[in-house]
C-alpha cells in the first residue's frame, strides 16, 4: 500500500468513462473522489500498487478510472468553432510565449501575412508579449519561442463531467 501526499497525487488524472465505456474526459483525482462520494460513478480500474488519499476521518483508494452509473448524452457539434474564449480556455489562460497570465489572443502568423483564425494559428498571450510581437512572426520578433504547439481541442475536451452528470 502506497501513501501519497496531496502534491504527489495532484498530478494523477483519472479517466472518466460513460456508461457505454467510451472515454468522456479526464479529471483531477479530487473531482474523481467527489464523483465517487456523490454516487455518480463507480471504480473500474485501481492503481497497482494501491494509492490512498487520507483525510482526517477516512482513507480513500484513488481510482485510475471510473465510469458513470447512467449513460449521459453528449451533444454532437459538427465543427469545433474557434473563439477567443475557447483559445484562452484551451491554453489555460497562460501566455504561450512567457508562461504568464494570458488574457489576449495572438495570431502566430499575423493576419496581415495571411494568418487565419484557426486553432493552430491562435495562442493565448499576455498583453506585453502580444504587443512586443506585434505584426511579426515569433521568429521575426526575436527570442519569442512558443512554449507549446497550439492544437485543436478534441470534442471530449469541451465538456466537464459535473456539467453532464
Q: Is residue 111 part of a domain?
A: yes
89 and 136 assigned to the same domain: yes
Question: Is residue 135, in this structure, part of any structural domain at all?
Answer: yes
- What residues make up the domain containing 35? 2-73
Q: Which band of pLDDT confidence, cut at 50, 70 and 90, is reported for residue 10?
A: very low
89 shares its domain with 113: yes
Question: Within a domain: residue 78?
Answer: no
42 lies in a domain? Answer: yes
- Calculate the average pLDDT of the chain: 86
pLDDT digits (tens, 9 = 90+) for 59-99: 999 999 999 999 998 776 666 789 999 999 899 999 999 99
Give the number of domains in the chain.
Answer: 2
How far apart, in whole angstroms, are the C-alpha atoms of residue 70 and residue 83?
32
pTM for this predicted structure: 0.51
Question: Do residue 7 and residue 48 come from a single domain?
Answer: yes
Q: Would the pLDDT of 112 be above 60?
A: yes
User: What cell does 135 get?
Assistant: 505584426
- The C-alpha atoms of residue 116 and residue 122 are separated, in whole angstroms, by 8
In three-state secondary structure terms, 98 is coil
Amino acid at each position: 500500500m502506497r501513501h501519497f501526499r496531496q502534491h504527489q497525487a495532484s498530478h494523477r488524472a483519472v479517466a472518466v468513462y460513460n456508461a457505454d465505456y467510451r472515454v468522456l474526459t479526464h479529471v483531477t483525482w479530487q473531482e474523481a473522489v467527489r464523483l465517487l462520494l456523490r454516487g455518480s460513478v463507480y471504480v473500474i480500474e485501481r492503481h497497482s500498487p494501491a494509492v490512498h488519499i487520507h483525510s482526517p476521518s477516512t482513507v480513500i483508494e484513488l481510482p485510475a478510472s471510473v465510469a458513470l452509473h447512467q449513460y449521459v448524452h453528449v451533444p454532437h457539434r459538427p465543427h469545433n468553432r474557434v473563439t477567443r474564449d475557447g483559445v484562452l480556455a484551451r491554453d489555460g489562460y497562460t501566455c504561450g510565449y512567457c508562461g504568464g497570465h494570458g488574457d489576449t489572443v495572438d495570431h502566430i502568423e499575423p493576419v496581415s501575412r495571411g494568418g487565419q483564425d484557426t486553432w493552430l494559428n491562435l495562442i493565448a498571450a499576455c498583453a506585453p508579449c502580444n504587443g512586443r510581437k506585434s505584426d511579426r512572426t515569433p521568429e521575426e520578433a526575436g527570442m519569442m519561442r512558443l512554449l507549446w504547439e497550439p492544437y485543436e481541442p478534441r470534442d471530449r475536451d469541451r465538456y466537464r463531467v459535473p456539467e453532464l452528470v
